[in-house]
């Protein structure tokens, strides 16, 4: 079964993405980053869900901005990157996603580190 299916397919992932973004808004380590977005909160949730669905083997061709372009110029720190990963794990736990799946998601997200934290 693909990771996409094990995360609950499109409906499950939409719910997870919703909670990830809400966790970011409530996380004091990063919440202020989301005060002056180009996207609305709903657009960010939808974009995050599409990115997740595409990246886990689901039926979406992610047409959004790539991660390097999206986060370029934000000067994201390693601590902020960890805060985002914490929020993701918290949302996955809330949705009772298993440890194996959490590890796979973490590994995929970690692979974007060098596109998001620029040296
Ligand atoms: C693996 C880690 C991350 C992934 C996969 C990711 C993914 C995304 C995606 C898919 C978008 C929407 C892009 C679009 O449709 O235009 C986005 C936007 C954004 N991300 Fe990230 N992100 C990550 C880490 C971070 C970190 C560490 C921060 C800083 C705390 C951050 C801050 C933002 C902000 C502020 C936006 C909104 C940009 C705007 O609309 O102005 N992201 N991210």
Closest C-alpha residue for ligand 1 atom 6: 67
- Intra-chain end-to-end CA distance of the chain, in Å: 37
Pocket test for ligand 1, best of 70, 86, 88, 108 (most atoms within 8 A of CB): 70
| Share of residues in the chain with pLDDT > 90 (%) | 95
Quick one: how far is CA 119 from the chain centroid?
21
Give the residue-averaged pLDDT of 15-33. Answer: 98
- What was the pLDDT predicted at 118? 85
Give the residue-averaged pLDDT of 88-100. Answer: 98
Instruction: Name every protein residue with a CB atom under 6 angstroms from any ligand 1 atom.
Output: 30, 33-34, 37-39, 44, 47-48, 51, 64-65, 67, 70-71, 76, 80-81, 84, 109, 112, 116
34 secondary structure, DSSP code: G
Domains with residue ranges and CATH for the chain? 3-116 (1.10.490.10)
**Cα separations (Å) of 9 from 12, 23, 60?**
5, 21, 11
Confidence at 103, pLDDT banded by 50, 70, 90: very high
Confidence at 72, pLDDT banded by 50, 70, 90: very high
Is the alpha carbon torsion for 108, 52, 18, 10 positive or negative? Answer: negative
Mean residue pLDDT of the chain comes to: 96
DSSP collapsed to 3 states, 82-93: HHHHHHHHHHHH
Give me ligand 1 centre to Cα 19, in Å.
Answer: 14
What are 11's two structure tokens?
Answer: 């409906």
């Amino acid at each position: 079964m693909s990771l996409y299916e094990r995360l609950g397919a499109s409906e499950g992932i939409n719910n997870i993405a919703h909670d990830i973004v809400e966790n970011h808004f409530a996380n004091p380590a990063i919440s202020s980053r989301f005060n002056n977005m180009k996207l609305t909160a709903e657009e960010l949730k939808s974009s995050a869900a599409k990115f997740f669905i595409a990246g886990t083997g689901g039926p979406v061709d992610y047409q959004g901005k790539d991660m390097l372009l999206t986060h370029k110029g934000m000067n994201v720190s390693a601590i902020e990157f960890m805060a985002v990963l914490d929020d993701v794990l918290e949302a996955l736990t809330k949705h009772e996603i298993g440890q194996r799946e959490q590890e796979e998601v973490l590994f995929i997200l970690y692979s974007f580190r060098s596109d998001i934290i620029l040296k």
